Amino acid sequence: MLCRPSHPGNIGAAARAMKTMGLTDLRLVAPERFPAKEADWMATHAVGVLQKATIHQTLGEAIHDCVAAFALSARPREWSPQVLDVRASAARALPLDGKVAFVFGNETAGLTNEEMFACQFLVHIPANPESSSLNLAQAVQVVAYELLMASGAQPPKAKDEKLATVEDIEGLYAHLLQAAVASDFHVPSSGSKLPERLRRLFSRVPELTREEVNILRGLLKALLSRRGDNS
């Protein structure tokens, strides 16, 4: 929820920050200008979030159906609701059964005391004490990210690749030794521990894929062919 936002560009950027983290319920309390083209420009692919945004005259009206409201502020208040950092607030909000509001103040003045006390928690985003005030959309992004992470989100998985078999890896070892001998880097009769060291080196790669083995063997084949030794 954005209270009295003065610049429509910040509304659009906040909508984009929300959508990237899977949030879509944007509520605006007495925005200075909205709808506005600047909001659409900054929303990029999140114009749908703007189109569904609701406008309210007061914060009380905006949070009437929420089971908890978390007020964001960059500065401490002498009297305030329970204070949490942003990560703790996300962990506190996720298990609640019902809608939860994260409330952001005006870009210049922040939240009024009345708006803060309409909420049950005061949330701080830890930052450099000498420059602790974030841009409105940046603050929304941080909170949205922490909510996503608290929900157990995982990084996207890489495409499934077939792991190299023992046969594949043994073929690679043989190919490496062939190249080492052909280049005079390894002399088998010297007693060098190169074969063992190669095995130890590749043992540190826990999930070598078949494609990776083929890349290495393709390189070795090309190098050997230039020497005229591609048996």
104 and 130, same domain (yes or no): yes
The two three-digit tokens of residue 2, written as one number: 């954005």
Q: With respect to residue 198, please indicate whether it lies within any of the assigned structural domains.
A: yes
Global confidence as pTM: 0.73
pLDDT at 74: 86
Give the range of the structural domain holding residue 191, as residue numbers without chain letter.
Answer: 166-226
Q: What is the pLDDT of residues 100-152, one digit of tens each?
A: 999 999 999 999 999 999 999 999 999 998 888 899 999 999 999 999 999 99
Same domain, 210 and 120: no
Where does a domain end: 150, 185, 206? 150
- The string of DSSP codes covering 165-210 is PHHHHHHHHHHHHHHHHHTTS--GGGT--HHHHHHHHHHT-TT-BH
pLDDT tens digits for range 172-185? 999 999 999 999 99
pLDDT at 227 over 80: no
> Do 171 and 132 share a domain, yes or no?
no
Is it the case that residue 85 has pLDDT exceeding 60? Answer: yes
66-72 and 99-103 beta bridge pairing: parallel
Please say if the pLDDT value at position 201 is more than 80: yes
> Of 115, 150, 185, which residue constitutes the final position of a domain?
150
Tell me, yes or no, whether 61 lies in a domain: yes
First to last CA, the chain: 70
The pLDDT score that the predictor gives to residue 206 is: 84
Q: What is the mean pLDDT of the chain?
A: 94
**155 in a domain, yes or no?**
no
Do residues 37 and 120 share a domain? Answer: yes
Most confident of 59-73, 74-88, 118-132, 199-213: 59-73
Asked if residue 84 is part of any domain, the answer here is yes
